[in-house]
């Protein structure tokens, strides 16, 4: 109870302190597709001189997790936790050269302060070459808390919370392949209606290797804005690691945003080494009732098959999103995850301050 009271007080203090700060807000709706575009030029932020803008957020959340499991399950136990993190993005415009540096401080990433650091050379307004540390391109949900329609992401992370004995091959499968950061180069094209990206990078994005010397990966993604509000993306990734450690991933999603309603569907099909496969899909609906209130319903399913072991996970989520001011949101989420040998109930309260 003391943790809950202190969390509520901290939210109130943060909201009153930062409510008047000028900032940015993210939106899933766009007149054109974003894949392959130079978003450094169009992003909002606080001007730090003529060539540099600053944007970011502070994410504070209360987590209450209850787990009902059998004797063989290794899923995370019950917990009550308060966590906080901060994100700082520096956007640099020295056209035709632009660059971004993303820093994140949180309990989850430990000493890994640097998220992204890349430069971009624009041959023209549509064609770009980027180089450095960047986020992987496959996946519907973005890497920032401000990109989500709920407090948590849609898919269970089998790499951390899984069923069965810890010696199963599932420990060697990175189901968290989205929203990872990789080192390499990327050629991209975007004319507003069509976007395509081709990248060559190290192998930490989709498989299990973590060093450029251990192998090489490519990813290719294309997106189409059929008309304003209806967008689809399809992508493929291949990682050739050391020895026989290969991974092939296919990801696709479609989003329809008729006004205040957002409907989305996403799927993944991933083949790892040693006859290991992972398939998942997600259905999401979000409706903004007013400038103050929005709600999200989401369902996601994951199936892991290693030949000798087969595991399933089903996650149901409902979220209420409250925009207290332009720069201060309070979000609530309840999620129920059913696995083969455990059920998990999660409740979150999040305070999100953007600037």
Instruction: Give the pair of three-digit tokens for residue 289.
Output: 């009732």
Write the CB contacts of 114 (distance below 8 Å, at least 6 apart in sequence): 101, 102, 103, 133
Asked whether the beta carbons of 286 and 293 are under 8 A apart, the reply is: no
**Element containing residue 240 per DSSP (H, E):** strand 230-240
**What's the angle, vertex CA 39, arms to CA 33 and CA 43, rounded to 5?**
115
Tokens of 26: 């993210």
How far, in Å, are 65, 160, 195, 229 from residue 192 at the CA level? 42, 38, 7, 13
Contact between 18 and 327 under an 8 Å Cβ cutoff? The reply is yes
What is the rounded CA–CA span in Å between residue 265 and residue 252?
Answer: 8
Place of tokens 């201060």: 328
Q: Which two tokens stand for residue 41?
A: 């030029």
Position with higher pLDDT, 208 vs 40: 40
For 124, residues 6+ apart whose C-beta sits below 8 A from its C-beta are: none
Band (pLDDT 50/70/90 cuts) for residue 80 is confident
Torsion of Cα atoms, 140 then 143 then 147 then 149, to 10°? 70
Is residue 55 predicted with pLDDT exceeding 50? yes
For the segment 321-333, the average pLDDT, to the nearest whole number, is: 96
Do 65 and 346 meet the contact criterion of CB atoms below 8 Å apart?
yes
Between 119 and 108, the more confident residue is 119
Q: Is 123 left (phi over 0), alpha (psi -120 to 50) or beta?
A: alpha
* DSSP code for 310: E
> pLDDT-based confidence at 278, cuts 50/70/90?
confident
Q: Is the previous residue joined to 96 through a cis bond, with omega within 30 degrees of 0?
A: yes
Which residues is 104 bridged to in the sheet?
87
Q: Sort strands 52-69 and 46-47 into parallel, antiparallel or unpaired.
A: antiparallel
Q: From residue 1, give the alpha-carbon distance in Å to each of 13, 76, 349.
A: 19, 22, 14
The per-residue b/e assignment along 282-294, b for 16 or more CB within 10 angstroms, e otherwise, is bebebebeeeeeb
Closest to 134 (Cα-Cα) out of 121, 108, 120, 115: 115
> Residue 250: how many CB atoms within 10 A of its CB?
15
Alpha carbons 15 and 60: distance in angstroms, whole number: 11
Judged by average pLDDT, the poorest of 60-64, 152-156, 335-339 is 152-156
H helices of the chain, in order, are 2-18, 39-42
- What percentage of the chain has pLDDT greater than the value 90? 54
- Name the average pLDDT for the chain: 81
Give yes or no for residue 37 having a pLDDT over 70: yes
Q: Is the distance from CB of 281 to CB of 140 less than 8 angstroms?
A: no
3-class secondary structure, 286 = strand
Helices (runs of H) and strands (runs of E) counted in the chain: 2, 17
* CB-facing half-sphere around the CA of 161: CA atoms within 13 A: 22
- Per residue in 219-263, pLDDT (tens digit) is 999 999 999 999 999 999 988 765 556 788 999 999 999 999 999
Q: Which domains does the chain carry?
A: 2-354 (2.40.160.10)
| pLDDT band at 113; cut points 50, 70, 90 | confident
């Amino acid at each position: 109870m003391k943790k809950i009271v202190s969390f509520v007080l901290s939210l109130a203090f943060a909201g009153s302190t930062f409510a008047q700060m000028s900032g940015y807000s993210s939106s899933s709706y766009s007149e054109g597709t974003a894949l392959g575009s130079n978003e450094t030029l169009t992003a909002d932020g606080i001007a730090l001189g003529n060539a540099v803008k600053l944007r970011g957020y502070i994410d504070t959340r209360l987590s209450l997790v209850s787990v009902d499991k059998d004797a063989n399950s290794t899923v995370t136990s019950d917990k009550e936790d308060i966590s906080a993190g901060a994100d700082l993005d520096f956007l640099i415009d020295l056209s035709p050269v632009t660059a971004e540096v993303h820093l994140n401080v949180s309990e989850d990433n430990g000493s890994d302060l640097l998220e992204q650091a890349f430069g971009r050379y624009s041959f023209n307004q549509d064609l770009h070459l980027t180089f450095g540390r960047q986020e992987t391109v496959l996946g519907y949900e973005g890497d920032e808390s401000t990109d989500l329609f709920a407090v948590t992401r849609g898919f269970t992370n089998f790499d951390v919370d899984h069923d069965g004995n810890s010696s199963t091959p599932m420990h060697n499968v990175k189901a968290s392949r989205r929203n990872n950061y990789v080192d390499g180069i990327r050629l991209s094209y975007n004319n507003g209606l069509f976007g395509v990206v081709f990248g060559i990078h190290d192998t930490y994005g989709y498989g299990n290797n973590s060093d450029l010397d251990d192998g090489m990966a490519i990813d290719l993604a294309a997106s189409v804005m059929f008309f304003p509000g209806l967008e689809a993306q399809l992508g493929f990734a291949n990682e050739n690691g050391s020895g026989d450690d290969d991974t092939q991933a296919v990801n696709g999603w479609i989003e329809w945003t008729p006004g205040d309603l957002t409907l989305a569907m996403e799927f993944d099909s991933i083949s790892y080494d040693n006859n290991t496969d992972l398939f998942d899909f997600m259905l999401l609906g979000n409706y903004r009732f007013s400038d103050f209130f929005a709600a999200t319903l989401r369902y996601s399913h994951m199936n892991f098959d290693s030949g000798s072991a087969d595991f399933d996970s089903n996650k149901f989520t409902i979220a209420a999103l409250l925009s207290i001011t332009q720069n201060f949101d309070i979000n609530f989420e309840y999620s129920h995850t059913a696995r083969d040998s455990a059920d998990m109930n999660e409740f979150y309260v999040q305070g999100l301050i953007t600037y």
